Amino acid sequence: MSHDHHHETKPESATSPLAARVRAMEALLVEKGVVTEAEIQDNVAYMDSRSPANGAKLVARAWVNEGFKTRLLSDGRAAAVEFGIDAVASPELVVVENTPEVHNLIVCTLCSCYPRNVLGRPPDWYKSFEYRSRAVREPRAVMREFGFEPPEGTRVAVHDSTADVRYMVLPMRPAGTGGMDEEGLAGLVTRDCLIGVDAPRARAAAGA
């Protein structure tokens, strides 16, 4: 199973068959007056402004602010809006907390449902049939391929995203980060941590 572990998904090649079909559909919609070219470009720019950095900032705030953490776990979408992230029109966002007893992993077994309004576009591997099937059957094996596995005795909970409910992981704060500010803490949280195939590393906090 091949993964792009630490890089954002690259845009579809402008010359690919899929890109050509998308452009043809866009042109037809513009021709029919359903949307304007400016509206399409505004939507593209909006989605490009969404990134895992938003989720990392939410996590860092939750690590340092217990009240915000409670709100984030209670209503992820409202907490994101409170933080200044435009998630009002997004589906319900459920934030699940990792603990020493439970490690959470996110998947969409049917397609590629993902909290795009908060985290942007999902990585290619998240949309693959291989990940969608194996994350449910053998989650620990999948995580090992990302270089991570929860300790023995920690239960793995797999959450299946839907059109109505999207999930994001609140990872555990690494040991040895007591003196770090929010910006530094957010830098420890990768996209993969927010999906649950990885976790923030204590060695990263120590500058290793």
Query: Which residues form the catalytic set?
Result: 108, 111-113
Residues of the chain within CATH 3.90.330.10 domain(s) are: 51-205
Q: What is the pLDDT of residue 10?
A: 38
Q: What is the pLDDT of residue 201?
A: 85
Q: What is the pLDDT of residue 41?
A: 58
Q: Flag residues of the chain having pLDDT under 50.
A: 4-14, 42, 204-208
Say if residues 24 and 168 touch (Cβ distance below 8 Å).
Answer: no
Q: What is the pLDDT of residue 200?
A: 96
- What is the DSSP code string of 60-109? HHHHH-HHHHHHHHH-HHHHHHHTT---TTSPEEEEEE--SSEEEEEE-S
pTM: 0.78
Burial of 172 (0-12, 13-18, 19+ CB in 10 A): middle
Q: What is the pLDDT of residue 31?
A: 75
Spatial separation of the C-alpha atoms in residues 144 and 61, rounded to whole Å: 28
Q: Is the dihedral of CA 82, 182, 59, 186 positive or negative?
A: positive
Q: What is the pLDDT of residue 90?
A: 81
- Report H helices in the chain: 17-31, 37-49, 52-64, 66-74, 76-82, 116-119, 124-127, 129-137, 139-145, 182-186, 191-195, 202-205
* CATH superfamily, with its number, for domain 51-205: Nitrile hydratase alpha /Thiocyanate hydrolase gamma (3.90.330.10)
Spatial separation of the C-alpha atoms in residues 118 and 56, rounded to whole Å: 10
